[in-house]
Amino acid sequence: MDPLSYFLGIEVNRNGHDTILSQRKYIHELLERAELSHSKLISYPMTTNVNHVLGDSETFNKPVKCHQVGGALRYVTLSRRDIKFAVKKVFQCMQSPTQNHWSAVTGIPRYLQGPADHGLRFMQDLGTILHAYTDSAYNSLNSFSDVNWEICIDDLQSMKGYVIYLGSNLVSWSARKQKH
């Protein structure tokens, strides 16, 4: 058998002893489906000066399209950690998307147009040391501000997260709301 090169929308490229998993073709197809392939490239997956909350603008008239693009973006997070936070933020209001949410959802694929061949890099590493890092952000209602990325405006829940490395390779990560 030939070495693995493409599986379930994930491309496997080898560069010397390193292996890179990317979703370049899947991202291109997503841009076509969302009718964004000729849209302007943006530098960041989401702006930091806007908080998306339920009912923040007029209801989006094609919620199924919003859900489809959002679901495809969740799949892209397998190889693109740089959009994980932005995808999580837009999914917090996905049950009733508004025009502002749709703008945020379409901003993520517009960002992906640029570095579409980026992905997860696994380096041949002789180190077998396991490193784990965690973070937790708790904000009381008294310290709540208009722009606060650690807390959800709709339910005032804080965030927690972790990353785990085996040698120099990231093998697991998570970020989620804390239960109070």
107-139 confidence digits (pLDDT tens)? 899 898 876 568 888 888 767 889 999 886 554
Across the strands, what pairs with 170? 165
Stated pTM of the model = 0.70
Main-chain phi, psi angles of 10, to 5 degrees: -115, 125
Instruction: Report whether 170 contacts 123 (CB < 8 A).
Output: no
Q: Is the pLDDT of residue 150 over 70?
A: no
76 falls in which pLDDT band (50, 70, 90)?
very high
The tens digit of pLDDT for each residue in 43-55 reads 888 876 666 666 6
Average pLDDT over every residue of 58-82: 88
Across the strands, what pairs with 18? 15
Considering only CA atoms, which of 80, 161, 171 is closest in space to residue 127? 171
Amino acid at position 149, single letter: W
Considering only CA atoms, which of 48, 22, 7, 40 is closest in space to residue 114? 40
For the packed helices 99-112 and 24-33, what is the interaxial angle rounded to 10 degrees? 140
52-56, 99-103, 117-121, 148-152: segment of lowest average pLDDT: 148-152
- Distances in whole angstroms, Cα of residue 1 to Cα of each of 4, 17, 117, 144: 9, 20, 25, 57
CA 78 to chain centre: 9
